[in-house]
Amino acid sequence: MPEIKPMEGNQAVAEAMRQINPDVVAAYPITPSTEVVQTFSSFVANGLVDTNYVAVESEHSAMSACTAAAVAGGRVMNATSSQGLALMWEILYITASLRAPVILTVVNRALSGNINIHCDHSDGMGARDCGWVQLYGENVQEGYDNLLQAVRIGEALDVRLPVMNCIDGFLVSHSYELLQVEDDAPVKDFVGPYQAVNPLLDISHPISIGPLDLWDYYFEHKRGQCDAYPPAKEAILAVGKEFGKTFGREYGLMEEFMLEDAELAVVALGSTAGVAKVAVESLREDGVKAGLLKLRAFRPFPAAEIAAALQGKKAIAVFDRAISFGAASGPLFSEVAAALYTAGQQIPALSVLYGLGGREITPEQISGVFRQLPEVASGGQPADPVLFLGVRE
């Protein structure tokens, strides 16, 4: 019988890793993700998993070892945050280019400087172009469920991409919530055995990995990599559906909360979606037709699906927990706006930058943004489309 237990996000992720029992975990601890690998290393020490745990000297080495183990033919997992993810940067691109389905839990934390250990999405957003699939979870249950699904999505034979399972630092990683822990056997059945593709250790089929690739083939290789993302979108949907059939919680590319008949909508990622749900419910009680689009898959970006879900809205606000310095708006806003433009939809839209470095976001603040949206709707595009929400000025 599945058990319902109070667990922190980090413990839930470690528990999922125990059930998956990966071949290799090569990790270097960093706040707030430390507890994931710390808890998992105790599982290794206590013989609960067969994993080869490699304690390395930096995140650059961690991702190098993970990528090498994956191309050698193993199922590989890891966890990191913020500066740790930044130190992996060089290798992240290589992992994706080599089509090595490493699974990395990213416990989202602000990037330095100044140094800050709390949640924002500057780490994940900074890594958005490196070729990894990115799933953002709202709460502890989603951190657990998304990790189990990430394995199937990344390892699908027409996908073969690394996946980031993103959860909000402290807000989810260190919050106790009731988690439905599924039994080991159905989880193992769902995840299935690892199927290596062109493993380096298959010495009867020798191959070369990562060779010099100049003007003559590099462009073709990058073009080929692009073809993995539409199947990744399909895999997210198919695996999410199968997860629903198996465990009763179905997942898609996004979650629409009171969105269908909404006139005003907010788009958000991560735990803020939970806060926005409270705001939407209270606005509905006041007769405001508010709705939420919670994006689960940021990579591959479901542009057409987002445009379809937002069609006919009078105004929207896109919430970004990261700044793209020098850009006209937040990174999520830019992509949502491009999705709408490409679909021929002119919806007045506000870019909301909020919650940096762990600054709290409240339902009242989100309601306040909703209350600005009718004016945005009537005036067309706002004069200053970027709102810094909750900053002292």
Q: How many Cα atoms sit within 13 Å of 167 on the Cβ side?
A: 28
Range 61-80, binding another protein (CB under 8 A): 71
3-state SS string for 34-89: HHHHHHHHHHHHCCCCCCEEEECCCHHHHHHHHHHHHHHCCCEEEEECHHHHHHHH
Provide the minimum distance between the beta carbon of 207 and another protein in the complex, in angstroms, as a whole number.
5
**Which DSSP category does 308 fall into?**
H
90 belongs to the binding site for another protein (CB under 8 A): no
Provide the minimum distance between the beta carbon of 206 and another protein in the complex, in angstroms, as a whole number.
4
Whole-number Cα distances in Å, 52 to 30, 41, 43, 258, 292: 20, 10, 11, 45, 42
223 belongs to the binding site for another protein (CB under 8 A): yes
99 belongs to the binding site for another protein (CB under 8 A): yes
Provide the minimum distance between the beta carbon of 95 and another protein in the complex, in angstroms, as a whole number.
10
360 belongs to the binding site for another protein (CB under 8 A): no
CA–CA separation, 110 and 264 (whole Å): 29
Closer to another protein by CB, 93 or 247: give it.
93
Token pair in block for residue 157: 């034979």
97 belongs to the binding site for another protein (CB under 8 A): yes
Provide the minimum distance between the beta carbon of 92 and another protein in the complex, in angstroms, as a whole number.
15
Task: Return the residue of 184, 189, 202, 213 that touches another protein, per CB under 8 A.
Answer: 213
Closer to another protein by CB, 219 or 341: give it.
219
Closer to another protein by CB, 129 or 220: give it.
220
Provide the minimum distance between the beta carbon of 63 and another protein in the complex, in angstroms, as a whole number.
16
Query: Whose structure tokens read 């706002």?
Result: 382
Token pair in block for residue 6: 């109070």
Residue 154: CB atoms within 10 Å: 27
98 belongs to the binding site for another protein (CB under 8 A): yes
Query: Whose structure tokens read 């003559």?
Result: 216
Range 14-43, binding another protein (CB under 8 A): none
- The two beta strands, 254-257 and 290-295, are antiparallel
Nearest in space to 107 (alpha carbons), one of 65, 53, 166 = 166
Task: Return the residue of 75, 109, 160, 277 that touches another protein, per CB under 8 A.
Answer: 160
52 belongs to the binding site for another protein (CB under 8 A): no
Closer to another protein by CB, 98 or 316: give it.
98
Closer to another protein by CB, 162 or 382: give it.
162
CA–CA separation, 44 and 319 (whole Å): 39
211 belongs to the binding site for another protein (CB under 8 A): yes
Provide the minimum distance between the beta carbon of 221 and another protein in the complex, in angstroms, as a whole number.
4
Task: Return the residue of 45, 48, 178, 207 that touches another protein, per CB under 8 A.
Answer: 207
230 belongs to the binding site for another protein (CB under 8 A): no
Nearest in space to 336 (alpha carbons), one of 326, 347, 324, 325 = 347
345 belongs to the binding site for another protein (CB under 8 A): no
Q: Which amino acid is at 20?
A: I
210 belongs to the binding site for another protein (CB under 8 A): yes
Closer to another protein by CB, 231 or 302: give it.
231
Number of residues binding to another protein, judged by CB under 8 A: 25
Task: Return the residue of 198, 311, 378, 381 that touches another protein, per CB under 8 A.
Answer: 198
* H-helix segments, 250-362: 272-285, 303-310, 331-342
Task: Return the residue of 129, 189, 220, 286 that touches another protein, per CB under 8 A.
Answer: 220
Token pair in block for residue 185: 């056997």
159 class by beta-carbon count within 10 Å (0-12 exposed, 13-18 middle, 19+ buried): buried
Find the farthest-apart pair of alpha carbons in the chain and give their distance in angstroms, rounded: 69
Closer to another protein by CB, 1 or 214: give it.
214
Closer to another protein by CB, 193 or 206: give it.
206
Positions touching another protein (CB under 8 A) are 71, 97-100, 160, 197-198, 205-211, 213, 216-217, 219-221, 223-225, 228
